[in-house]
């Protein structure tokens, strides 16, 4: 691997705990938030990054995969940053989740359990009550419906007209029960919750949502993964017995990253196929032209892996990476160092 582009942030290190990194749009642009009130946009072919000073601190960065813009948001305030650096406030209070739709609209969830859809200009198209505080919002790549995960354990599917077309309660379901009885030794003895309600109170907030081409996937930190159909019914499940930090689509299956630094590859039915020793929990998956690829880091090296974990290329970097990102098509990988950003061609 050789860096195809490099940008310097003027010798000012990325603040510890930040360094949020994401690809923006379809041209390979990269956005970095090195400080709570600063957004840096790096564009291939341009030597100098564009720095946008924000009026307020932001906790989250969400990129529009189709258009050259980024949403910077926290519970108290949210802004859109356009390609030219102009900013615009979003009039949504107590924001708790946000995603860009394929049409360019914004879907946002609130702490009061409401789902709102906004046009690119900020006009509200619907405002719907979906449950308790919204933990995550994602758009299904299959039918374009919005998937909304709430803190009460409910998952709701909403169509483009703002109508609920399916819903499912997971707080009293198979998510809890195998953990309660100590499935694969994950929760045994006095530490095991004695009821579904206690389980949900203790572990429910680690529940996360992924929208994949094979249907919605839910997982929580205690290691259970559920694949759902279009009616949000469970079609496959796995319990890995290890704490999970992330789950990403890998071809027709999934790559489940464990807190101990390894990853498990699951097929479309969530059956374990093999285990990969990762160098970092930051590892990201890209589509790739010849199959999925894994962009990883191990100490002062970045690694390109095939789906079976084999290292196909690597490059030495210094110091150790702060964050990694892969473009949606798997063609580019970005590496954030303390004061620099490197862009690699992964093809």
Nearest alpha carbon to residue 140 among 125, 160, 115, 113: 160
pLDDT at 18: 65
Could you give the C-alpha distances from 38 to 46, 68, 76, 111, in angstroms and in order?
19, 17, 17, 25
pLDDT at 120: 84
pLDDT at 201: 59
pLDDT at 134: 92
What one-character-per-residue DSSP string does 168-234 give? Answer: EE-TTSTTTHHHHTTGGGSS-GGGS-SSHHHHHHHHGGG-EEEEETTEEEEE-TTSEEEEE-TTS-E
Indicate the length of the chain as a whole number: 347
Q: What are phi and psi of 67, to 5 degrees?
A: -120, 155
pLDDT at 175: 41
Whole-number Å distance between alpha carbons of 286 and 288: 6
pLDDT at 106: 95
Q: What is the DSSP letter of 278?
A: -
pLDDT in tens, 230-263: 999 999 999 888 888 899 999 899 999 998 888 9
Residue identified by tokens 């307020």 is 56
Residue 105: which H helix or E strand, with range? none
Start-to-end C-alpha separation, the chain: 10
pLDDT at 184: 37
Task: Print pLDDT tens along the chain (347 aa).
Answer: 999 999 998 777 887 666 788 999 878 899 988 877 788 999 999 999 988 887 777 888 899 988 889 998 888 888 888 878 888 888 888 999 999 999 999 999 999 999 999 998 889 999 999 988 898 999 999 999 999 999 888 999 999 999 999 999 886 543 433 333 333 333 333 444 445 555 555 555 567 899 999 999 999 877 889 999 999 999 999 988 888 889 999 989 999 999 888 899 999 999 999 999 999 889 999 887 778 899 999 999 999 999 999 999 999 999 999 999 999 888 999 999 988 999 999 98
Pairing of strands 114-118, 106-110: antiparallel
pLDDT at 281: 85
pLDDT at 27: 81
- What residues does 98 pair with on adjacent strands? 108
pLDDT at 225: 92
Whole-number Å distance between alpha carbons of 321 and 285: 16
Q: Which long-range contacts does 125-129 make (Cβ < 8 Å, 24+ apart)? A: 125/162, 126/161, 126/162, 127/162, 128/158, 128/162, 128/164
Q: Is the peptide bond before 319 cis (omega within 30 degrees of 0)?
A: yes
pTM: 0.87
pLDDT at 189: 37
pLDDT in tens, 40-87: 999 999 999 988 887 777 888 899 988 889 998 888 888 888 878 888
| HSE-CB for 242 with a 13 A CA cutoff | 15
Whole-number Å distance between alpha carbons of 40 and 311: 31
């Amino acid at each position: 691997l050789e860096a195809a582009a490099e940008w310097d942030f003027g010798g000012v290190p990325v603040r510890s705990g930040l360094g949020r990194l994401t690809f923006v749009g379809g041209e390979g642009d990269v956005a970095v938030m090195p400080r709570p009130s600063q957004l840096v946009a790096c564009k291939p072919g341009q030597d100098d990054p564009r720095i946008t000073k924000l009026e307020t601190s932001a906790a989250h960065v969400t990129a529009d995969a189709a258009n050259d813009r980024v949403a910077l948001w926290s519970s108290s305030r949210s802004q859109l940053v356009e390609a030219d650096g102009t900013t615009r406030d979003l009039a949504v209070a107590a924001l708790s989740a946000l995603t860009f739709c394929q049409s360019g609209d914004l879907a946002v969830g609130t702490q009061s359990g409401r789902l709102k859809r906004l046009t690119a200009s900020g006009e509200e198209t619907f405002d719907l009550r979906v449950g308790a505080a919204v933990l995550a919002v994602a758009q299904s790549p299959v039918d374009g419906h919005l998937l909304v995960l709430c803190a009460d354990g409910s998952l709701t599917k909403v169509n483009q007209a703002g109508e609920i077309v399916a819903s499912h309660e997971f707080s009293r379901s198979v998510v809890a029960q195998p953990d309660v009885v100590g499935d694969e030794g994950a929760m045994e003895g006095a530490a095991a919750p004695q009821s579904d309600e206690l389980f949900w109170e203790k572990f429910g907030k680690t529940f996360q949502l992924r929208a994949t081409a094979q249907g919605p996937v839910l997982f929580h930190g205690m290691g259970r993964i559920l694949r759902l159909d279009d009616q949000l019914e469970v079609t496959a499940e796995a319990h890995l017995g290890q704490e999970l930090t992330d789950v990403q689509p890998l071809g027709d299956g999934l790559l489940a990253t464990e807190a101990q630094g390894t990853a498990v590859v699951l097929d479309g039915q969530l059956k374990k196929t093999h285990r990969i020793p990762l160098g970092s929990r930051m590892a990201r998956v890209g589509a790739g032209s010849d199959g999925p690829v894994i962009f990883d880091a191990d100490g002062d090296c970045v690694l390109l892996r095939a789906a079976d974990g084999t290292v196909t290329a690597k490059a030495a970097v210094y110091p150790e990476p702060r964050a990694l990102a892969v473009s949606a098509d798997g063609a580019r990988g970005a590496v954030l160092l303390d004061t620099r950003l490197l862009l690699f061609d992964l093809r």
